[in-house]
Amino acid sequence: MSNNPLYFEDVEFGDDIGPIIREVSDESVIEFVSIRGPETEPSRFTSKEVAQSQGLPEAIVPGAMNIALMSQLLTGWSETVSLLKLDVVFRKTVPHNTPLKFSGIITDKDESGSNNLECDITMENEEGVKLVIGNAVISLPSQP
Amino acid sequence: MLLDLHTHSTASDDSRASIEQYVKWINILRKKGNHIDGFVVTDHRQFNHDVNYDSISSENGITILKGAELDTDTGHFLVYGINEKISSIINFADVTMSAQKLVDVCDTYGAIAFPAHPGRAGIGFAHYLDNGVKGFETVKTAERLNGSNRPGEGEKAEELIQSKGFNGTGGSDAHIVSAIGTCMTEFEANISNEVELVAALRSGSFKAVRMNKI
């Protein structure tokens, strides 16, 4: 997370959020799926063989984990960000162990006093293909 | 005149952008020096005759027209100039509809239908031609530039357009606000309604263009 506090007045239409590049390792997926309890059998999220038996090219990152990663783009932008709403569309499966680019852009600014900002967010692979897209509403405090 | 011919609103299940948000964003693009005159809403598998964008269009000086992107047995097709007669014949929700019938109906009743993102694997027109599909003699246009193209899809579309001598349009295929206008179609004519859009598309006096990122 950025240590620089951002305030509502600092942000303009078209401001970029990120980008940040992350890779999701096999281990981090296992750790994520283990949150709901130890995995008793391999799944398409943790096993290439199971994934391929289900018609996928390789093990994929779980949707909930992708949502969590997208949210971290926003909450990591500044310690002052509050994430109010996140709505994503999964366009392609997300593979493990490959660089993923997370980015956002401010598309609306509510000047009526709510301090809410709307933004588009995307996750792309190295070829620039959008794997996950969406939008979010975040809030920033006013300058003290 | 620069129009984005391929955009999706929240009426499409995979889009997160409203018409109002697009309009607001276009105003920002204009303030930053970009040129965009309007866009055509081409939601998936539907057309709403009752929706009217005249008010928001005139308030903002942005041309907003209506079309559709339909799933067919020969890939996705963009349709412009839809009227009551066409929607009484074509079931827009039928994902296996005959593309040839769609093209023929549009030709007959004052609309136009042509392939969207023709280079896209599985849902692009070129894929079907490669697999031996014939016909479509009246199709003279295809989407040349699509803002959501994946690597290789633009090249495949260009190959099709060159080999067939098609005219090529441009559209962003926007599903989020900030994607609108990334690809557009530059028309020689001024266009203020769907009838004029169809005439301009049939005239061939246009070209596909890209917008520089703000």
pLDDT at A40: 76
B62 membership: H or E segment, kind and range: none
Range B162-176 burial, b when 16+ CB lie within 10 A, else e: eebebbbbbbbbbbb
Q: How remote is the C-alpha of A128 from its chain's centroid? A: 16
Each residue's pLDDT tens digit, B14-68: 999 999 999 999 999 999 999 999 999 999 999 999 999 999 999 999 999 999 9
pTM: 0.93
Closest CA in chain B for residue A121: B176
Average pLDDT, chain B: 96
Instruction: Look at A108 and B21 and tell me if their CB atoms are within 8 Å.
Output: yes
- Residues spanned by the domain of B28: 2-213
Asked whether residue A50 is assigned to any structural domain, the reply reads no
What CATH number does the domain containing B124 carry? 3.20.20.140
Best to test chain B binding among A89, A103, A119 (most B CBs inside 10 Å): A89
- CATH at residue A85: 3.10.129.10
The count of structural domains within chain A is 1
Query: What pLDDT shows up at residue B213?
Result: 47
Counted domains in chain B: 1
Q: Give the C-alpha separation, B23 to B27, whole Å.
A: 6
Whether A133 is covered by a domain: the verdict is yes
For residue A36, tell me if it sits in a domain.
Answer: no
Full residue range of the structural domain in which residue A72 is found: 8-24+61-139
**Do A107 and B150 lie within an 8 Å CB cutoff?**
no
pLDDT at B214 over 50: no
Chain B residues within 8 A of A14 when measuring between CB atoms: 28, 32, 214
Which A residues in the span 66-105 are in contact with B, Cβ-Cβ below 8 Å? 87, 89, 91, 105
Inside any domain, residue A39: no
| CB contact (8 A) between residue A120 and residue B179 | yes
Is A70 part of any domain? yes
B28 touches chain A (CB under 8 A): yes
Quick: pLDDT tens for A1-51: 566 899 999 999 999 999 999 999 999 999 999 987 777 789 999 999 999
Q: What is the pLDDT of residues A91-135, one digit of tens each?
A: 999 999 999 999 999 999 998 989 999 999 999 999 999 999 999
